Amino acid sequence: MSELRADRPAERLYNGLIKENPTFVLMLGMCPTLAVTTSAVNGLGMGLTTTVVLMMSNLLISMLRKVIPNRVRIPAFIVIIATFVTVVQLLLEAYLPVLNRSLGMYIPLIVVNCIILGRAESYAYSHGMIASFFDGLGMGLGFSVALTCIGVVRELLGAGKLFGYAVLPATFTPISIFGLAPGAFFVLAGLTALQNALRDRKATDKNKAARPAAGCVRDCAACGIEGCQAHGKFYDMEDK
Amino acid sequence: MDNVKGLFVILIGSSLVNNVVLSQFLGLCPFLGVSKKIKTAAGMGTAVIFVITLASGVAGVIYEFVLKRFGLEYLQTIVFILVIAALVQFVEMFLRKCMHSLYEALGVYLPLITTNCAVLGVALTNVQKQYGVLTGMLNGFATAVGFTISIVILAGLREKMEYNDIPKSFRGMPSVLLAAGLMAIAFCGFSGLL
């Protein structure tokens, strides 16, 4: 994705969603990831709530970055983040009481979500307003996608449902442990292992591409084999 | 007598039945991050017990005598997080000046605790369940003991797992998460206690 220019909105969105996905790549903000993903709707709700807080706090911190003295920046960030969390919590209480009840204590705990403080410190404090806003949006969406993925797996295995609708046939016996606490650990372990396996496969594919053709004598200067992918790799016999 | 029974229920309930890490998922970052060796895990656990007990006391006093009196309950999140951050700073300064040996033992872990969501989580739970200051402190202490128990057990498991032959893609974090999941199943067994 080299055609995307750095710090442009599109590049920030791509960065947050895929390249530096906060959950699967950076492994940040694990507490809400495991606690509220009992269903896909809860995961999505938590993700979007965090996205709103992240966008607003990034925007405000970026606006105030020349006013906040360097030495008290962390307390200042925390106050800004906590203010937005309180605002969002009051709004949820008023307009989405069902979601508010199912997320419960984990809404005020967004304050200590390391993703938000991490983005404030590593991006918003040193970049412009628009870039910071889209950085928050990208990171937040990446977090939402990850939470929804975990929620989908847990809801499907634990209750046989998807977003509240029964999708599996009635003969399927729900494995209720996936809806309980241990299931959260197992699903995340499985997804991380899957990601590791995919990354390893990618890495070995690259190695394969550079493997010399059959009949290689490990001396490219004296070799006449057509189409050898490792051409130019071996120049003396010691290089084994 | 009833009172004592109630306190005992809080003590067992917060440390074992509703274990803070394994059933409420608070404080996962240090749980996964600082659990490579039993020694460091125990150090972190001690620091957490110390800070959570103090913080839930201070947060309780402020909620009871300042926020409630002036009708400012909606500011609790902002006030609690600031109180915790300031408290951790003060504790660090105090220990460095007055109890140097304890500072050397806990020093590295103290700054990490500000971002430990278990501290804020306990303060909020105390408000939610309408515990008084002293009951809240007891709840904080019990929660922190539960955290220490689980982080030390996980560290013990991880020390043993070092020598095992684990499939390549499960090395590192996935195997730790699996171990934590098995521990969580074991801790489900406590739910019949109360």
Distance from CA of A115 to the nearest CA of B (A): 11
Q: How many CA atoms lie within 13 A of B42 on its CB side?
A: 5
What is the per-residue pLDDT across B100-135, written as a single tens digit (0 to 9) for each?
Answer: 877 777 766 777 776 678 888 899 889 888 888 889
Question: In this complex, is the C-beta atom of A6 within 8 Å of any C-beta atom belonging to chain B?
Answer: no
A157 vs A71: CA distance, rounded Å? 49
Banded pLDDT at A231 (limits 50, 70, 90): low
Strand partners, A166: A161
Could you tell me which chain B residue has the CA closest to the CA of A74? B85
A24 vs A16: CA distance, rounded Å? 11
The reply to whether residue A181 touches residue B188, judged by beta carbons under 8 angstroms, is yes
Instruction: Report chain B's C-alpha Rg in angstroms.
Output: 18
Name the residue type at position A77.
F
Residue B2's pLDDT is what? 66
B154 vs B178: CA distance, rounded Å? 11
Residue B107's pLDDT is what? 65
A120 vs A98: CA distance, rounded Å? 30
Q: Which residue in the set A75, A105, A189 is minimally distant from B125, CB to CB?
A: A105
Could you tell me which chain B residue has the CA closest to the CA of A199? B169
Distance from CA of B37 to the nearest CA of A (A): 21
- A72-104 burial: b if 16+ Cβ within 10 Å, else e: ebeebbbebbbbbbbebbeebeeeeeebbebbe
Banded pLDDT at B152 (limits 50, 70, 90): very high
B153 vs B180: CA distance, rounded Å? 10
Residue B93's pLDDT is what? 84
The reply to whether residue A194 touches residue B22, judged by beta carbons under 8 angstroms, is no
Residue A37's pLDDT is what? 86
How does the average pLDDT of chain A come out, rounded? 82
Structure tokens of B138?
A: 């007891």
- B79-103 burial: b if 16+ Cβ within 10 Å, else e: bbbebbbebbeebbeebeeeeeeeb
Q: Which residues 6+ apart lie within 8 Å of A43 measured at CB?
A: A36, A37, A144, A147, A148, A149, A150, A151, A152
Question: In this complex, is the C-beta atom of A76 within 8 Å of any C-beta atom belonging to chain B?
Answer: no
Banded pLDDT at A226 (limits 50, 70, 90): low
Q: Is the pLDDT of residue A1 over 50?
A: no
Question: In this complex, is the C-beta atom of A27 within 8 Å of any C-beta atom belonging to chain B?
Answer: yes
Q: Which residue in the set A83, A90, A186 is minimally distant from B78, CB to CB?
A: A83
Residue B114's pLDDT is what? 67
Residues of A in contact with B85 (CB under 8 A): 74-75, 78
Least confident range of A73-82, A119-128, B24-33: B24-33
- Of residues A182, A183, A195, A188, the one with CA closest to residue A150: A188
Q: Is the pLDDT of residue A167 over 60?
A: yes
Could you tell me which chain A residue has the CA closest to the CA of B125? A105
Residue B62's pLDDT is what? 92
Judged by CB atoms within 8 Å, which residues 212-231 of A form the interface with B?
none
pTM (2 decimals)?
0.80
Could you tell me which chain A residue has the CA closest to the CA of B174? A189
Q: Is the pLDDT of residue A58 over 90?
A: yes
